[in-house]
Amino acid sequence: MHAIRSILVVIQPDQTDDLALKRARLIAGVTQSHLHLLVCDNKRQHATYLNELVSELERDGYSASAQQAWQDTPHQTVINAQQAEGCGLVIKQHVAENALKRLLLTPDDWKLLRYCPAPVLMVKTDRLWTGGKVLAAVDVGNSDSEHRTLHASIVSHAYDIAELANASLHVVSAHPAAMLASADPTFQLSETIEARYREACAVFQTEYDVPAERLHVCEGPADVVIPQVADQLHAAVTVLGTVGRSGFSGALIGNTAEVVLDSLDSDVLVLKPDDIIDHLEELVAQR
């Protein structure tokens, strides 16, 4: 998080309270990142509004620039600007779409999470980060190298946010229910499953000084467990990962990050493995 030098902030002029810009100010105030403001609109002109925002930011000591652009869809416009400006983080205020519309069309915010090469922070509440709780969601049941790297990135970013906001770091991992018919005795009892998952989280506890009471290993689907724990903690921000699945499988099943986006009552930071980021950057370059 501290290595970010430029942040893309999606500005939505119709939003009465621009939560995305508030979060961007907080992060840039610590990281000294440049703020690049973007309005995605091909119908109305917002130059005056953007100039006023930039002037206000510069008066407050921030480095800032702005543009209005449009490229086919909102998410594609954001991705193109992120690549052109070399932004290491995208911040956008999330507005949930109704359930019926989600059944018929993939929400544009889901597409942004899926295809954007940079980490995306979806701002959902005006809850203060300072002195709050940051929740890192990891799936330690997947122990291949790609997931291990992603888990380390998730906890590292969550730790950085906790340090930035003087907040406390918590870690959550969902585990499956016991299966008596399992060939592996470990998965025949909930107690042994939980013990294995806690053992897998031990490396995070040691490296980032996470006490046992801040490690939450719970039985159930991740898309149920993560929002439940975040709600119990009143988490200010939840950090999780996505493998960026696309095509028919991605559209039908959806990634956990996408599925929990609307059910989480906290801000949501979504990360991807490095190889997925490289692939997505190649796809953007080919457009």
Count Cβ atoms below 10 Å from residue 246 Cβ, excluding itself: 15
Are the C-beta atoms of residues 222 and 166 closer than 8 Å to each other? no
Structural element, H or E, at residue 66: strand 64-69
Query: What is the CATH code for 133-282?
Result: 3.40.50.12370
Contacts of 239 (CB under 8 A, 6+ apart): 134, 135, 136, 137, 154, 155, 157, 158, 161, 268, 269, 271
Separation CA 42–CA 136 (nearest Å): 37
Residue type, 158: A
This prediction's pTM: 0.87
Q: Which residues of 69-85 are buried (b: 16+ CB within 10 A; e: fewer)?
A: eeeeebbbbbbbbbbeb
* Token couple for 233: 């903690």
Per-residue pLDDT of 141-179, as tens digits, reads 777 777 778 888 899 999 999 998 999 999 999 887 765
The proportion of the chain whose per-residue pLDDT surpasses 90, expressed as a percent, equals: 54
78-120 pLDDT, tens digit each? 999 999 999 999 999 997 766 555 556 678 898 898 889 899 9
Is the Cβ–Cβ distance between 179 and 188 less than 8 Å? yes
| Residues whose CB is less than 8 angstroms from the CB of residue 191 and which lie 6 or more positions away in sequence, other chains included | none
Quote the percentage of the chain above a pLDDT of 70.
Answer: 82
Which CATH number is correct for 6-93, 3.40.50.620, 3.40.50.300, 2.40.160.60, 3.30.499.10?
3.40.50.620
pLDDT digits (tens, 9 = 90+) for 184-211: 555 555 677 888 888 888 888 898 889 9
Task: Determine contact, residues 225/174, Cβ cutoff 8 Å.
Answer: yes
Task: Evaluate if residue 35 carries a pLDDT over 70.
Answer: yes
> Smallest Cα–Cα separation from 10: which of 101, 76, 100?
76
pLDDT single digits (tens) 216-263? 999 998 999 999 999 999 999 999 988 655 543 334 334 778 888 888
Q: Where in the chain is the domain with CATH 3.40.50.620?
A: 6-93
Q: What is the pLDDT of residue 280?
A: 55
Q: Where in the chain is the domain with CATH 3.40.50.12370?
A: 133-282
